[in-house]
């Protein structure tokens, strides 16, 4: 879709602009829902819509009251703390388990690779409601329902596929001679892993970890079944907010979460560039 050539006929010209317009509309469809909440979260009135004063850009129509609301509300603060506790613990576990497994899976001599890969990635594919139901019965019988441990283990299982995928992808471009070189110079396998392999695959490991964190941070179905009141995470709290008493506080929380996703997206982009540079794919 480069610039229109000078010899293009009128039909081609029309088609060119129509296509651009169509694509513009689709991009608008993608981004509008995310953008539109941001100004609404600064609404001074408890409405979900733009007041005439807001459209006239009067300063008294905007306020930070819903953000203040979050800070004043014990439940929101508690759920944010929970989300970080569960998310970080699950990310740590998922990243460690997933990275080690990916090391095995990316070796040429891995037996039953397809089957094992299929099993390891299944948490990503199985409908969440089935996962939640299964884990609910299982953890209840073990006494782990409504505990942090149960929720963390469940989120770990859901996060590992992403780590496995990103790390195996990174390892596919990894020069195995470096491992041989390291061993021949007398390094133990552990030392080789920490000094040679890990630094080189770290972009993949970190982005897998980010995926695992987002999975946990955004997960609500399993939390609905497994988390008690004490373990309520942010999505669980939002769920209750949307279902029970929908107030613009939700929009303020949502705006904060959009901020978090922008941060994550930027981190991912930096990692991607770094990994390309490390692999020598890009000139700079």
Partner 1 sequence: MAAITENDGMMRAADGTPLKQALARATRMNKARAFLLTTPLLAFILVTFILPIGLMLFRSIDTPEVSAAFPKTLAILQEWDGNDLPGEDAYASFASEMQELASDRDTRSMISRAGTRLNYIQSGFRSLMNKTSRRIQRVEEPPFKEAFIKIDKRWGEADTWKTIRQAGSRYSTRAYLNALDLTTSPDGEIVAQPEIKQIYVTLFERTIWVSIGVTVACIALAYPISYLLATLPSGTSNLLMIFVLLPFWTSLLVRTTSWIVLLQTNGVINDILVWIGIVGDDSRIQMIYNMTGTFIAMTHILLPFMVLPLYSVMKTIPRDHMRAARSLGANPMIAFMRIYLPQTVAGVGAGSILVFILAIGYYITPALVGGQDGQLISNIIEYHMKKSLNWGLAAALGGILLAGVLALYWLYNRIVGISNMKLG
By CB under 8 A, name the one of 165, 196, 197, 252 that touches partner 1: 165
Residues 6+ apart with CB under 8 A from 66: 41, 42, 43, 247, 248, 249, 251, 252
* Residue 34 Cβ vs partner 1, minimum distance, rounded to whole Å: 6
Q: Per rule CB under 8 A, is residue 143 in the interface with partner 1? A: no
Q: Per rule CB under 8 A, is residue 240 in the interface with partner 1? A: no
Q: Per rule CB under 8 A, is residue 242 in the interface with partner 1? A: yes
Contact assessment for residue 208 and residue 216, using Cβ atoms and an 8 Å cutoff: no
Judged by beta carbon, residue 123 or residue 192, the one nearer partner 1 is 123
By CB under 8 A, name the one of 167, 196, 226, 238 that touches partner 1: 238
- Which of these ranges, 73-81, 84-92, 128-136, 178-186, lies near partner 1 under the rule CB under 8 A? 128-136
Residues 6+ apart with CB under 8 A from 74: none
* Residue 13 Cβ vs partner 1, minimum distance, rounded to whole Å: 12
Contact assessment for residue 161 and residue 124, using Cβ atoms and an 8 Å cutoff: yes
Q: Per rule CB under 8 A, is residue 90 in the interface with partner 1? A: no
- Which of these ranges, 56-64, 69-77, 154-162, 179-187, lies near partner 1 under the rule CB under 8 A? 154-162
For the record, the structure tokens of 262 come out as: 């922008």
Residues 6+ apart with CB under 8 A from 90: 152, 155, 156, 158, 159, 212, 213, 216
Contact assessment for residue 98 and residue 208, using Cβ atoms and an 8 Å cutoff: yes
Number of residues that bind partner 1 (CB under 8 A): 92
Q: Per rule CB under 8 A, is residue 174 in the interface with partner 1? A: no
Give helix then strand counts, H and E, for the chain.
13, 0
By CB under 8 A, name the one of 4, 13, 17, 26 that touches partner 1: 26
For the record, the structure tokens of 125 come out as: 């594919």
* Residue 283 Cβ vs partner 1, minimum distance, rounded to whole Å: 13
Separation of alpha carbons 258 and 279, rounded Å: 31
For the record, the structure tokens of 268 come out as: 């991912």
Q: Per rule CB under 8 A, is residue 156 in the interface with partner 1? A: yes
Q: Per rule CB under 8 A, is residue 117 in the interface with partner 1? A: yes
Q: Per rule CB under 8 A, is residue 270 in the interface with partner 1? A: no
Separation of alpha carbons 254 and 26, rounded Å: 22
For the record, the structure tokens of 12 come out as: 């081609």
By CB under 8 A, name the one of 6, 59, 114, 184 that touches partner 1: 114
3-class secondary-structure state, position 3: coil
By CB under 8 A, name the one of 4, 178, 185, 265 that touches partner 1: 265
By CB under 8 A, name the one of 14, 17, 48, 194 that touches partner 1: 48
Contact positions with partner 1 (CB under 8 A) in 180-209: 207
């Amino acid at each position: 879709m480069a610039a229109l050539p000078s010899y293009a006929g009128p039909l081609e010209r029309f088609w060119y602009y129509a296509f651009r317009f169509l694509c513009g509309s689709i991009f608008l469809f993608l981004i509008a829902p995310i953008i539109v909440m941001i100004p609404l979260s600064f609404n001074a009135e408890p409405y979900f819509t733009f007041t005439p004063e807001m459209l006239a850009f009067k300063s008294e129509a905007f306020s930070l009251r819903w953000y203040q609301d979050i800070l004043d509300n014990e439940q929101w603060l508690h759920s944010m703390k929970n989300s970080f506790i569960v998310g970080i613990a699950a990310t740590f576990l998922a990243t460690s388990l997933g990275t080690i497994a990916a090391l095995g899976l990316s070796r040429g001599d891995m037996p039953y690779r397809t089957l094992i890969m299929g099993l390891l990635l299944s948490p990503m594919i199985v409908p969440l409601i089935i996962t939640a139901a299964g884990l609910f019965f299982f953890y209840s019988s073990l006494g782990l329902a409504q505990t942090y441990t149960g929720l963390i283990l469940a989120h770990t299982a859901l996060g590992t596929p992403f780590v496995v995928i990103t790390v195996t992808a990174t390892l596919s471009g990894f020069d195995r001679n470096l491992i041989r070189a390291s061993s021949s110079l007398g390094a133990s396998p552990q030392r080789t892993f920490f000094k040679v392999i890990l630094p080189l695959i770290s972009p993949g490991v970190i982005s897998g970890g980010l995926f695992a964190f987002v999975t946990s941070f955004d997960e609500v179905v399993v939390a609905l079944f497994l988390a008690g009141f004490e373990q309520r995470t942010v999505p669980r709290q939002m769920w209750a907010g949307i279902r029970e008493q929908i107030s613009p506080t939700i929009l303020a929380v949502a705006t904060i979460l959009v901020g978090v996703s922008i941060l994550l997206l930027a981190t991912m982009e930096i990692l991607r560039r770094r990994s390309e540079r490390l692999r020598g794919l890009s000139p700079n």
